[in-house]
Amino acid sequence: MVNPHRKHIFSIHTGYYCSVIILSQISICSLFSMPPSDQFSKHPGAFPVATNGEPFPWRELRLPNMVIPLHYDLFVHPNLTSLDFVASEKIEILVRDAIQFIILHSKDLEIMNAALHSEEDLRYRKPGKKLNVLSYPAHQQIALLVPEKLMADLRYYVVIDFRAKLADGFEGFYKSTYRTLDGETRTIAVTHFEPTEARMAFPCFDEPLFKANFSIKIRRQRGHIALSNMPKIKTIELEGGLLEDHFETTVKMSTYLVAYIVCDFKSVSGTTSSGVKVSIYASPDKWSQTHYALEASLKLLAFYENYFDINYPLPKLDLVAIPDFGAGAMENWGLITYRETSLLFDPRTSSAFDKLWVTRVIAHELAHQWFGNLVTMEWWNDLWLKEGFATYMELISVNATYPELQIDNYFLNVCFEVIKRDSLNSSHPISNQAKTTTQIREMFDAVSYNKGACILNMLKDFLSEEKFQKGIIHYLKKFSFSNAKTDDLWSSLSNSCLEGDFTSGGFCYSDSKMTSNTLTFLGENVEVKEMMTTWTLQKGIPLVVVNQEGRSLRLRQERFLKGVFKEDHSWRVLQEGYLWHIPLTYSTSSSNGIHRYILKSKTDTLDLPEKTSWVKFNVDLNGYYIVHYEGHGWDQLITQLNQNHTLLKSKDKIDLIHDAFQLVNAGRLTLDKALDLTHYLQHETNVLAILKGLEYLESFYHMMDRRNISDVTENLKHYLLRYFKPVIDTQSWSDEGSLWDRMLRTALLKLACHLNYAPCIRKATELFSQWKESNGKLNIPTDVLKIVYSVGAQTTAGWNSLLKHYELSVSGAEKNKILYALSTSKHQEKLMKLIELGMEGKVIKTQDLASLLHAIARNPKGQQLAWNFVRENWTHLLEKFDLGSFAMRFIISGTTSHFSSKDELQEVQLFFESLNAQGSHLDAFQIVLETIPKNIEWLEKNLPTLRTWLLVKI
């Protein structure tokens, strides 16, 4: 819904702004009505100043649209010894409006020459016109000043020679290193351009809307290979033993998807039934770990081609494991890059969870070849159109290709995870304004990924799977090789149902008079756009309050807010203006069917056809909302769980556990009632329900342990070991069972050993001793490997031998397990050594520093150490990671968000204030500053209840 006062207010504001400015020498308003070239030539003083002191002819962060790129000819020659590169490019441009300058993005590149050619110049081989180059680093832009105006509707060619160092971090065209089994360090060169780093590798129109074709040539030494988005068409031998690879011209695509690599990797390949060659690349010593990725990629690519009814548009697809990688993976079209742990699978050391992770990440990146690459969002404010969809498609594709992984169980956690974030006032809408590069990077968060996926899953459940699939096929075909906005998706999903009229249980147009966004739902017209904008344009998650009175259900919707209680003054203010169109589902004790209703108003009433003892909303957890059952609602559900929990579906029981503890956070349910709900778990056989109950109880234990509340910590330990002892004692130290049986085994044995349960410590110590005696050759079951290493790391000899093995291991999965184990040491000097190794970046790679700091901060002996390190080394960390990167945000939240004392809060506030004063600001700061007070408040309100409840139970 659009604010009807918005345009009027803006008009008044603009008029006032202009009337004030007119009093000065330059009328800013008059500039808005002039073409950009005229603005610059007549009023150069109103523009920024370039590095050479001249006026820079463009003021905006976004590029002008008067010039658009059509084709890039790009030549790159990296030197892996001197760690730099020289390059040149020829950009074919189309001028839309007459203009006297061209604005490009460029960052940390030395421009040596720039020239402009007309089509006539190239046809008759005339020399081009030399261009004056101005630089404005604050906006990462350069201006090419042309001697004469470029004429509208004509094509020109910009030729630029440039050079730069290979970057040190994980962005642009950067260097990565790996050690061979012989101890030799080798260097490769690799690109990572998303979201705004193509400009670090070549001057370009570095925005998603400026799609073009790319022809790439790479010069290399004979001992290396070169990879790019497209297949290689020829290699030319040059003097001095150099080779130059020429690649096919790409399809039309955005700059952030361009990729090239120079390396010495080996590959394994296969071909899909549609003729696409798929190859998995890794460093030579890790080639044996590529085979599962090939199998998964072939199956998933074939699935997507069939599901989307659109063939993968390139002749080949390479997936490459990069030794140094900042994110999990990057979907470059035809050349997908991965962190090694996201692609490689070692049967000796990769656990059940590792297999699920690798499969999910491959599925995610392959989905991007359609969502993001084929159809790209117009701007980063709609990032969710690709990231939300790719996360959602993990669920659909892995369920179809690897049903044994039961990914729909994992998908519940995708939604639970983002609810933690979305229940804070510092959350943001799915479609959210992003202007600066830091703001753009911060869009890559749980809201764009997880919430995007969860509302798509909710919409699929509402429309039906068939209609939803038809809608996204319509969307992909309509906007292929182009860009789209969120509204385009809603239109396509509305237009997906063209077969006929409404029939019972379905969704379709009832007559030709209905608007393009209207569906019929249970005989009632439903505006898809109107409904879904309530989920994309406002932040937060709704709370549905249900009050059952006989056969009548009174419904009320509110905004759910963690740590904000109804009696608080701020509660009413934070509720204002929030209203969702919620597609409700519910079941009752007297009916197995799923009932549906759309709640569009603040309050409503439903009449049940018959009397029922309980009602359960959000069937199978397909909806994105929390439910509170007022009156006797919770008591009736708890009674049912204790009497016969099998009458409720597995996912509904998990939902009840989740919602109960979330409601404690909002003061709607007492902690003892939520804890009482978990009591039925002693009779539960569903793995996910046990894991969910265990998760909350374990989180309370860790909170008490970190705060050194020793009496509650000890009582929780006794309760957990007594309550879960029967299921702990039945666990084998093996890799047997289904994926989720194995996940339960890992969780239970990890907890048992952490709580010093004697049988667990004894078995883990025995296995670790055998492993040490075999010099690390013994194959310990992968699901208990981390547990065995963690127990072994508690002695100095064990810790030292693990660190030595860490250096030698060629398995990323094993290295992760060892690093976690090392971080559990009770000795601060050992923890500090790990941090120093992570900063040095040789033994422990810099890419793993963020997760290392997070792990150490979760160790009661390391939490203050990690926090102090971040404060004292902030500048050094910014030299390694960009301010808005995943790593820096994870470091900030990982070392502070678990704090729960006023002294800790004051320390964090003072530190963030000092950073803001230096010009460093992140949304992550506000998230932390909202989270810590809520942790403090939770303890104040619930610690006495928890203490009393435990005394009764033990």
- Active-site residues, by number, are 365
- Three-state DSSP class for 284? helix
- Which residues face 525 on adjacent strands? 520
Q: Residue 55's Cα: distance from chain center in Å?
A: 39
What lies within 8 Å, CB to CB, of 91 at 6+ separation is 69, 71, 72, 73, 157, 158, 160, 204, 212
Sheet order of strands, 552-560 included: 603-607, 552-560, 541-549, 626-629
Q: Residue 115's Cα: distance from chain center in Å?
A: 40
Work out the angle at residue 186's Cα, subtended by the Cα atoms of residues 181 and 191, and round it to the nearest 5 degrees. Answer: 125
Work out the angle at residue 519's Cα, subtended by the Cα atoms of residues 515 and 525, and round it to the nearest 5 degrees. Answer: 85
Annotate 666-691 with DSSP letters as a single string: TTSS-HHHHHHHGGGGGG---HHHHH
Pairing of strands 84-95, 155-165: antiparallel
What lies within 8 Å, CB to CB, of 733 at 6+ separation is 749, 763, 767, 781, 784
Cβ atoms within 10 A of the Cβ of 951, count?
11
Cβ atoms within 10 A of the Cβ of 513, count?
7
Annotate 437-458 with DSSP letters as a single string: HHHHHHTSSHIIIIIHHHHHHH
Tokens, residue 9? 């207010």
Check if the beta carbon of residue 217 is closer than 8 Å to that of residue 75.
Answer: yes
Q: What are phi and psi of 321, to 5 degrees?
A: -90, 115
Radius of gyration of the chain (CA): 29
User: Which helix (DSSP H) or strand (DSSP E) does residue 92 occupy?
Assistant: strand 84-95
Q: What is the DSSP letter of 475?
A: H
CA distances from 60 to 36, 136, 140 (A): 11, 11, 11
Check if the beta carbon of residue 648 is closer than 8 Å to that of residue 609.
Answer: no
Q: Residue 790's Cα: distance from chain center in Å?
A: 29
Contacts from 575-580 at CB under 8 Å and sequence distance 24+?
A: 577/538, 578/538, 578/540, 578/542, 579/534, 580/534, 580/535, 580/538, 580/542, 580/625
What lies within 8 Å, CB to CB, of 459 at 6+ separation is 468, 493, 528, 532, 583
Check if the beta carbon of residue 633 is closer than 8 Å to that of residue 547.
Answer: yes
Check if the beta carbon of residue 173 is closer than 8 Å to that of residue 201.
Answer: yes
Q: Determine the length of the chain.
A: 954
